Amino acid sequence: MTTNFQESQERADLRTAVAALGAKYGHDYYLKQARSGGKTNELWDEAGRLGYLGVSVPEEFGGGGGGIGDLAAVCEELAAAGTPLLLMVVSPAICATVIARFGTGEQKQQWLPGFAGGEVRMSFAITEPDAGSNSHRITTTAAHDGDGWVLNGRKVYISGVDEADAVLVVSRMADAKTGKLKPALFIVPTGTPGFEYRQIDMDMVSADKQFGLFLDDVKLPREALVGSEDAAIAQLFAGLNPERIMGASFSCGIARYALDKGVAYAKERNVWGTPIGAHQGLAHPLAQIKIELELAKLMTQKAAALYDSGDDFGSGEAANMAKYAAAEAAIRAVDQSVQVHGGNGLASEYGLGTLLSAVRLGRIAPVSREMVLNFVGQHSLGLPKSY
């Protein structure tokens, strides 16, 4: 058996087409929208019309029928063009994937065609103020209410709620057999009575905003529950692995954008008659970042291939490693590119300064660097659990 480290021609063509779309808008467009409080609706809508947001949605629902690796390629190329779409990590990657794998026939018919064309945007709500990275401490609860459900709880740092049609909410419900609480996922339209959201002020320049959610006796119909009551834990992890893969692709794309900027400047900028890129003090750090970026991309592609093959546990290990490696590569890429530019690295016209805080987020979300190391220590190395 041979291992092919080259992507298919079909995916290479997809990357080329998406890169062209990103270049059509460019980083200036993204920054203008972000700084003005606007949205990247034009880019999102065009990407949807062209089928790029729905590449991993099953063909029977209007999608491309590809895998998470194809969607990750779209995410990476848009970020590499300076037009990152954070909601891609959430809406088509987590929500559409969970519904496609576990949703009822009615849920698939209702939601997947909209995901396929980009008309539907859905946020994902798992994080809570007091639970942090521990999903077992989630306090948002769901209880039977006649033929439906009632939800109560709080969520925090939920992306894109202001532009979402609905939110996929992770809650807990009582297990009739054991009496213990078990995870349950519900689709909550953002206009549902009792559902409120408030923007969290962030020191980042981003077109995607963060919100706190408040669910106060939110009444939902029976069909709001995704899948069956007994499959929720599997559903949850079916969405978290794609989230990590997409997060890694997002970071890889930004790292590529920053590295390209740094390399171009190092070639063009002359001091004492010599391009500054000729000096090893600048050339070697850029070369190191190129190596680290390629390694992160390779692990991201491995994680996607494992996930698309149905190996959920194997993809979990690789996705955590990919997310870790890509975040570190992105941080180093942006920092070094700023350094190569000198004072210009923080000038608005060079399009790098705003990325300093943006890439730092990669060490925190969607899972912290420390929790990735806990996972690798326990599951990959067999060390005693530390928490």
Q: Which domains does the chain have, with CATH numbers?
A: 9-120 (1.10.540.10), 124-228 (2.40.110.10), 233-380 (1.20.140.10)
User: Is the CA virtual torsion 302, 307, 308, 309 positive or negative?
Assistant: positive
Residue 358: closest CA among 275, 276, 253:
253
* Token pair of 41 as six digits: 């609706």
> How does pLDDT run across 11-20, given as a tens digit for each residue?
999 999 999 9
Q: Which residue has the higher pLDDT, 237 or 83?
A: 83
Q: Cα angle vertex 41, ends 163, 166, to 5°?
A: 25
Q: How far is CA 189 from CA 93, 245, 307, in A?
A: 18, 26, 29
Residue type at 329 in one-letter notation: A
What span, in angstroms and rounded, lies between the C-alpha atoms of 314 and 83?
A: 31
What span, in angstroms and rounded, lies between the C-alpha atoms of 206 and 160?
A: 11
Q: What is the pLDDT of residue 133?
A: 61
Helix (H) or strand (E) holding 33: helix 9-36
Q: How far is CA 287 from CA 216, 248, 296, 350, in A?
A: 53, 20, 14, 21
Q: What is the pLDDT of residue 1?
A: 40
Phi, psi (degrees; rounded to nearest 5) at 212: -100, 140
> How does pLDDT run across 223-274, given as a tens digit for each residue?
999 987 776 577 777 889 999 999 999 999 999 999 999 999 999 999 999 9
Does 332 score more than 90 pLDDT? yes
